[in-house]
Amino acid sequence: MDIRSIIVKGAREHNLRGVSLELPQNKLVCFTGVSGSGKSSLAFDTLFAEGQRRYIESLSAYARQFLGQLPKPDVDLISGLSPTISIQQQSSGWNPRSTVGTVTQIHDFLRVLFARLGRQHCPTCGKPITAQTREQIVARIQSIGSGQNVVILAPVVRGQKGEFRDLFSDMLKRGYARARVDGKIVRLADDPMLDRNIRHSIEIVVDRIKLSATGRTRLHDAVEQGLGLGDGAIVVQTETASGESKNAAPKDLVLSSKYACTKCDRSFEPPTPQMFSFNSPSGMCTACDGLGERFDFDPDLLVPNPKKSFLKLAVEPMRTRIGRWRRHIYRGVAEAVGFDLDKPWKDLPQKARDALLFGTGDLHVTFTWRTRGRVWKHGGEFEGVIADLRGKYRKAKSAFVRAYYEKYMRRKACDRCEGARLNPQARSVLIGGQTLPQVSTMTIGEAAEFFAKLKLSELEQFIAEDVLKEINQRLGFLVDVGLHYLTLDRTAPTLSGGESQRIRLASQIGAGLVGVLYILDEPSIGLHAKDNTRLLASLERLRDAGNTVIVVEHDEETMRAADVLVDFGPGPGVRGGEVVACGSVADVIKDPRSITGQFLSGKEEIAVPKNRRPVGKEPKVSAPKKRAKKTTPNKATKKAKAKAR
């Protein structure tokens, strides 16, 4: 008995009939045979199941109570078993947030690369973001207006988990009395109790200042102090002025000495890896929550009859008759944009339709309300009919009402991020002239070529050396398993079972594990024949690294490349469950009982049909004859027949 072999004795799982087998370790082993002959029963339900059971048994009693206990396979003995990893044909789940980039962890390395080397540009004007001086920041705060009350805040924690007791204690010792925690001002002396499992944002209150020409020195000192405490960034909270409503929410102005657009007078947060994650609140598009698509109202479905005018309920889900109050709102929009509200919907210009459905944006609209000889004017912004319908749909508690609104909704790409999933700041960072969403839309083959030709300076090359190495390796592994045609932003639910299996195979190759038993389920399914050679090279790479690879396969090229070929049979189901032949390809060919060996030797073959159906011509299928309906005699008919008799 070889200690470097996997010994199986008396395997009886499913239709296996006491199979005993000795498999050498660190070899490429191929299980083959007719379908239902017991290949998967030995590979997955015996070897893999026993490996998983032994792994769980090796854990502590405390850990096992959460994992449960796996049943022991019906086998007498298994020895020489290494830690097992199964790569089966199954989809990657139904999580729409998972993509090829996230599953292979390439997206994680891309986030780090763009955060460290990316060149930020303004999302509005597209110009590169440059640093702001202290004087420019002070001048920007002064432009808010004399007499306005502002609070200078220094951001010290951005979306991190923890209780931060040491931070509060340190800030209190340094003379700071208050902080804004998750949007609320708290006293540091009260020892704020934070949940350690929730992400928090903490900003230290540096000073409260009433803007004036004489208080510029105090403002300059507060800005200098806040920039030092907040690592080059401050937040200016504009408090409610005396003339405004007390219910108005305070406005925040983010200013940075590092990242700002001098033309648009906008400051930006320093780039972090979280900013490039569509699964993080700091990076995701707020309109679609990082999904890239929205289930929203479709303008084409909202107006089934474009011959109606807007006031005659051309937008069907508005349902109820438009009253005087709503009519004066819509009249104000028509006057501001410049169109006739009484015209049929089909005759309105696109600008008018967009204003009614999606709102007027930042355009200030004056609404005129006339009653009993009086005229009252008020102004504001119009959000649009779709915004009102969204609110009704969210508030609807009845399933019937929600189903009614869903008739006018459709899943479509997010109109704000255009399917990129990220916020405008993350979409404006460039490396090699490409943004992260643009790199994600490349195929794996195109991305590999892009990073291979990426030109960086000597300093940038030193910073990104390890990250680029990981990205290039993982892209190379995906190319080797024949997935060069997939894009990095391809969602996991749209992948086939074979594609998901090869992605997991590429991830395992990149993991670099040694001494592991890999069990694969027909990895060549769905793969073009020209890519099969690269797949086999990947399997051989796993083997050469010091692993044992067992492949359940019907592919001839894989069988011939295997070190050991195990043929199950002789038939399916109850006629199978035995090892017909085991050894090299030559050994299997010599065995007369092996059906696989007969096909490999050329003694048996699947004949090509002599006559083929012409391409494009469908066979005519005659319509089934209609059966005559059997009529059931009624009571009157039965009585008439009885009298006649």
CA dihedral (552, 556, 560, 564) in degrees, to 10, reads 20
Q: How confident is the model at residue 134 (pLDDT cuts 50, 70, 90)?
A: confident
> What structural domains does the chain harbor?
5-90+515-601 (3.40.50.300), 129-270 (3.30.190.20), 294-412 (1.10.8.280)
In sequence order, the β-bridge partners of residue 29 are 550, 564
For the chain, helix (H) and strand (E) counts, in that order, are 22, 23
CB 128 within 8 A of CB 119: yes
Q: How confident is the model at residue 231 (pLDDT cuts 50, 70, 90)?
A: confident
pLDDT at 243: 42
Q: How confident is the model at residue 637 (pLDDT cuts 50, 70, 90)?
A: low
pLDDT at 245: 42
Q: How confident is the model at residue 609 (pLDDT cuts 50, 70, 90)?
A: confident
- Which amino acid is located at 219 in the chain? L
CA distance 434 to 440: 10
Please compute the mean of the pLDDT values over residues 232-245 and round it to a whole number: 67
Please compute the mean of the pLDDT values over residues 393-416 and round it to a whole number: 89
CA distance 367 to 379: 6
Give Cβ neighbours of residue 289 (< 8 Å, ≥ 6 apart). Answer: none
Q: What is the pLDDT of residues 135-172, one digit of tens each?
A: 888 888 888 888 888 999 998 988 888 888 889 899 99
247 versus 639: the higher-pLDDT residue is 639
Residue with token string 């109050």:
325
CB 439 within 8 A of CB 450: yes
The angle formed by the CA atoms of residues 43, 48 and 51, to the nearest 5 degrees, is 145
Residue 268, pLDDT > 60, answer: yes
Residue 75, pLDDT > 90, answer: yes
As given in the structure block, the two tokens for residue 554 are: 């019907």
Give the range among 246-260, 279-293, 363-377 with minimum mean pLDDT: 246-260
Residue 325, pLDDT > 50, answer: yes
Residue 568, pLDDT > 90, answer: yes
Q: Are strands 564-569 and 28-33 parallel, antiparallel or unpaired?
A: parallel
CB 395 within 8 A of CB 409: no
Burial of 218 (0-12, 13-18, 19+ CB in 10 A): middle
pLDDT at 242: 42
Largest CA distance in the chain: 124
As given in the structure block, the two tokens for residue 208 are: 């409260």
Q: How confident is the model at residue 595 (pLDDT cuts 50, 70, 90)?
A: confident
- Which amino acid is located at 598 in the chain? Q
**Nearest of 141, 211, 123, 196 to residue 163 by alpha carbon:** 196
pLDDT at 13: 92
CA distance 290 to 45: 39
Q: How confident is the model at residue 422 (pLDDT cuts 50, 70, 90)?
A: very high
Residue 1, pLDDT > 60, answer: no
Judged by phi (left if over 0) then psi (alpha if -120 to 50, else beta), residue 145 lies in left
Residue 547, pLDDT > 80, answer: yes
Q: What is the pLDDT of residues 355-397, one digit of tens each?
A: 999 888 878 888 888 887 788 888 888 888 998 998 999 898 8
Could you tell me how many residues make up the chain? 645
Compute φ and ψ for 262, nearest 5 degrees: -70, -25
Element spanning 113, H or E: helix 106-117
In sequence order, the β-bridge partners of residue 434 are 431
91 versus 252: the higher-pLDDT residue is 252
Compute φ and ψ for 569, nearest 5 degrees: 165, -145
Q: What is the pLDDT of residues 520-536, one digit of tens each?
A: 988 887 777 777 888 88
3-state secondary structure 262-318: CCCCEECCCCCHHHHCCCCCCCECCCCCCCCEEEEECHHHHCCCCCCEHHHCCCHHH
**Nearest of 424, 423, 413 to residue 296 by alpha carbon:** 413
Q: What is the pLDDT of residues 176-226, one digit of tens each?
A: 999 999 888 999 888 888 888 888 889 999 999 988 888 888 898 998 998
Rounded mean pLDDT of the chain? 85
Q: For 467, how many CA atoms within 13 A lie in the half-sphere containing its CB?
A: 19
CA distance 358 to 355: 6
CA distance 101 to 108: 8
Give the range among 11-20, 273-282, 531-540 with minimum mean pLDDT: 531-540
CA distance 522 to 505: 12
